[in-house]
Amino acid sequence: MACKDRWREGSMCLLMGLMFFLNVSLGFAQLSDLEGTAGHVRPTVSAEKEGSADVLSSLEGSTGQTASASPTNDGIVCSPGAPCLEAATQLPLRVLPRPFSSIYREAVEDPNAVVQANIPAFKPLYVFDRQGLDLSRPEAPQGWYHVGRTRTAPEGWIQAKDALEWRQALLVSYTHPGNELEGRSPVLMFRDRVALESIVDAMDMAGRAKDLYAAIAAGAIPEEVVSMEPKRFVDITKHFYLLPILQWRQTQIGGDDVRLLQLAAAVPGARGADTVRNPDYLEQAQVGRGQGGTVLQGVKADIVFVIDTTRSMQPFIDMTREAVAQMSRQFSAETADRFRFGLVVFRDSLEVAPQLEYVVRNVTPELVSAQDLVGLLEREGSATAVGSVDYAEELFAGVETALHSKWREGALRFVILISDASSHPKGHPQNTTGKDETDLRREYDDAQVHLFAIHLQDPRAKEDHPRAQAQFGRLARVRGTETSALKEINAFEESEYRSLAEHLTSRISTLLSQTMGAQPAQEAAPLEEMDKLWEAALIEYVGKEASPPKDIVAWALDRDLVNPAIKSLEVRVLVTREQLSSLAQTLDQVVQALMRAEVTQGQFFDALQSVAGQAMKRPEDLGGAMRLADTGLLPAFIQSLPYKSDILSLTEDMFASMTAEQRSQLEWSILAKLDQYRTINEQVDAWFRINDTDPDQDMVYPLHLDYLP
């Protein structure tokens, strides 16, 4: 039974006893949608917007002193014994300490009353009270914050001049940089906004940027540059770091929106300013993405085949088995144990074709050797003798199942997808996952899994080719590039597939040997698509040895300075499990209301009031709301975040104008994202403590901004 149908029966199968939050894929915006203040127009850029204090923790705050248990004119409420809260969002107020700051016993600068000296820079502290606060001059703020590392109790006072208010849990992360020849340049961090603007405004922006990189490489450090991103990739989901957004300015380059961001930088558990004038930091930051050294000698690879086993596929299954067998014969004693293999087979929905026996099957709950895979392909990989109802299959189910293979720790992870048909799109009755290629690609990126796709094109099914090409191409996108690891083969040219299968498996064996620094037993010629995929995986692998900059404040552009078309920084929001749970409970109610309104042919907001009214403090707000965002149902903090969302803008008229298919798409999107965040919640190593003293409930996950509802 499809999970959507189980939802209709009220069993909540996707929640699995947990409530998680989701993203409805209806067109979200990144920082381009942040509310800002209009600015002037410059010759080379236009339509600037500047982030304000209440949106992106700008230092340009309001003046005033906080009275206990009452809101100040900047919307902060402080009550005894609890962290101060923003009245509009109910989020706790936090500050980021500057380097070499101290916490005092009282709000007096007395060296003999220091509770803790040289506290970790830019690690968020909760604010419990404010005294004599005056932020009217950002360059010389006055007053004190009563702070603590946890929500339970304050530990002392920090001067306002030593702290930066951080009112939103917004930060950025480095994007996958791609290879050194075709990928982007490392992010440069400038002393002030003026220095960065001088590069952005230059007639030859790329040339100016190249001069800076050349100077740094030569050891002639430019005065305006504070630090730089390491050349190697640091994945925030594997090696957590903090790049909180303090201020921002939006402008345009070549008609494209870009952001100038003031960032702080911190790494939990690490201290010391990482500037380009620090020889140790600069040396490691300059190590190239392809320079793995001894770390590559221990590399290993897990490869999971995802194979369509519907009626037309048997010849290709047989040739795949033969290619894997040939690959195993090429292994040396050293490389044989470096490989492990998996097999996932898929067909189509049993609700319309029960004779197919299964939708998807993971044949290898534990990954196996190449020889074992050969046997499994023969015993378990047979194509069905019966046909399905339509041409599309449940490819997405196979891809999703492969993602959850039992990967070995530290291994390069690859999926090889082989099919002759597209997958049923999200919302189709035979789509059993509720997901599409965009959802799955996002999950693959977070898990550092790389997919190679082989599309077997039947000339008789040309009408299916464009949809399959779009799906396969997206799934097989090579991280850090605009290319895809996709090979298209005429399904009637079996010899062409045989040649590709043999070349692919041989090339993988060669790549592993070359990466280890060993001589391959039989070297296969380059295969561009696989070579690029392998390179992207190695960039992630080598990045484990890199350290991001910390303990600095600087300005950076969210695009590559040499090629501004490439995004170098992406926005994320730190969320706790409590926040995920709160959002999930709310959006579960939204789904139930959508389904109830559909069944009863009633109005959406009436259905929502019936489902959620009892759980609300002010249920009357829901009935009189014009938009979902105005109902008071969603947690306050989600509405405070500066991004746009179609779901939050949903009105009764919009719902009434939706077709049955559009409503179904909306429901499927919500269910799919609930399932995605169940997976995130279950990943123990995906959650991080900002401070060592943080309790489990304060652990955070750096979620993409466009994941939000």
* Residue extents of the structural domains in the chain: 3-29+575-636+643-707, 58-167, 176-287+546-567, 296-544
The answer to whether the beta carbons of residues 690 and 124 sit under 8 Å apart is yes
Q: Which CATH architecture has domain 296-544?
A: 3-Layer(aba) Sandwich (3.40)
Q: Is 691 helix (H, G, I), strand (E, B) or coil?
A: coil
C-beta atoms surrounding 213 within 10 Å: 17
Between β-strands 85-86 and 76-77, what pairing exists: parallel, antiparallel or unpaired?
Answer: antiparallel
- Res 518: pLDDT: 76
Sequence-distant (6+) residues with CB within 8 A of 408 are 300, 302, 340, 367
- Res 1: pLDDT: 37
- Res 670: pLDDT: 79
- Res 402: pLDDT: 97
Which run of H or of E encompasses 572? strand 569-576
CA distance 667 to 3: 11
The answer to whether the beta carbons of residues 499 and 506 sit under 8 Å apart is no
Residue 500 tokens read as 């590709």
Encoded amino acid at 88, one letter: A
Q: Which residues of the chain register pLDDT less than 50? A: 1-49, 51-72
Contacts for 499-504: CB closer than 8 Å, 24+ residues apart: 500/454, 501/319, 501/320, 501/322, 501/323, 502/322, 502/323, 502/326, 503/527, 504/323, 504/416, 504/452, 504/530
Residue 167: closest CA among 78, 262, 56, 260: 56
Sequence-distant (6+) residues with CB within 8 A of 316 are 307, 418, 420, 456, 494, 497
Determine the longest span between alpha carbons in the chain, in angstroms.
85
